[in-house]
Amino acid sequence: MILYELIDFEILRVIWWLLLGVLLIGFALTDGFDMGVGALLPFVARTDLERRQAINTVGPVWEGNQVWFILGGGAIFAAWPPLYAVSFSGFYLAMFTVLAALILRPVGFKYRSKRESTAWRSAWDWALFVGGAVPALIFGVAVGNILVGVPFHLTPELIPMYDGPFYAKFFGLLNPFSLLAGLISLAMLLQHGAAWLALKTDGMVETRARRLGPFFGYLAAVGFALAGVWLAVGIDGFAFAGEVVTDGPSNPLLSEVIRGGSWLDAYGDRPWIATAPLMGFVGILMAARSFGGHGDLSPLLWSKLGIFGVISTVGLTMFPFILPSSVDPNASLTVWDSSSSHMTLFVMLVCTAIFMPLILAYTAWVYSVLWGKVTVEDIEDNSETVY
């Protein structure tokens, strides 16, 4: 219990905010290239062998990559219960759409090659496209809505209530800024998928991936820059109106929050966070540039840096806000008032310290075993054992 007493509530809240970011970034870095490959499938692979070649680059690893998504949802549920309650109820239809699209992936992987029919395989190829493109788009739309503010308020009993009709929980998310954020997310993961294919394939699939990768990279960079300008001049930020209690009870209604100014005011208060968007731009642009070289690994590494920078930019710009409310700023959820108890966060941290290294070690071992390119010859020689 000595360690428990040494780590105070405020520090634990920040640690779990960081860990949530790590889990979300881990999901984007790993499952992101799975989704990117699926979304690129109809465009980089034109024959059945080429499509099987592309699918087999992600077929053995996608389930392990999805662990990060599950861990992220579990961390939100256990460490940030109000965030789980508000986001999963408010984004219910969007979440359902994402899950429906993600379900298409395992079914597509397992059933695509069960029949020789061209129409059958083509249908499953488009299902894999939907399973990659739709989640990539909606995740970005969700982030855009978080920056704009979500239309919810809290009752005195801290029950989240959403304004507007039920269908607005989906169609209301499709505002212009959030659609831009969705397109940035989609373009970024398409570049990530192209970088993965440049590493893991050869022949025409690799050639087409290297041709498409820069286009999506430049598109993501332009969109990221436009979003920054939009945040600066067209979207109000959120701020605390008075003194902030960082180790108090998890009750957002105890704090006074105002809306005004800009999210980018954070860069004046904490200039060092400018390193995050810088990493985003450098990573995306260098990945786009490196597709034209002869290195197989460099586009993927640069793409990972870009994704890390973009996601970090959102978190650091908003800190300490996690889910702001556009209709009642005082109901906005922040790092300081929407976490679990001190003891819960501590016990979870101990469990994370034990199991996270095991997950990382196992993941590294799997990728080392599967290292190397997937060739058309591999598919032809092992037609009964590959996807």
pLDDT at 134 over 80: yes
- Using pLDDT thresholds of 50, 70 and 90, give the confidence band for residue 16: very high
Q: Determine contact, residues 329/259, Cβ cutoff 8 Å.
A: yes
pLDDT at 381 over 80: no
3-class state of residue 175 by DSSP: coil
User: Distance between CA 213 and CA 137 in Å, rounded?
Assistant: 17
Secondary element (H or E) of residue 352: helix 342-369
* pLDDT, position 4: 66
Parse the chain into domains and list their residue ranges.
2-381
Average per-residue pLDDT for the chain: 90
* pLDDT, position 165: 64
Q: Output the CA angle 28-29-31, nearest 5 degrees.
A: 65
Compute the Cα dihedral for 322, 148, 215, 225 and give only its sign: negative
* pLDDT, position 167: 61
- Using pLDDT thresholds of 50, 70 and 90, give the confidence band for residue 174: confident
pTM over 0.85: yes
Over its C-alpha atoms, the chain yields an Rg (Å, rounded) of 22
- pLDDT for 325-375, tens place per residue? 999 999 999 999 999 999 999 999 999 999 999 989 988 998 898 888 988
3-class state of residue 60 by DSSP: coil
Q: Determine contact, residues 358/49, Cβ cutoff 8 Å.
A: no
3-class state of residue 261 by DSSP: strand
Residue type, 369: V
pLDDT at 168 over 70: no
* pLDDT, position 242: 81
Half-sphere exposure (Cβ direction) of 74: Cα atoms closer than 13 Å: 10
- pLDDT for 53-90, tens place per residue? 999 999 888 888 888 888 888 899 999 999 998 888 87
- pLDDT for 253-306, tens place per residue? 888 999 988 999 999 999 999 999 999 999 999 999 999 877 788 999 999 999
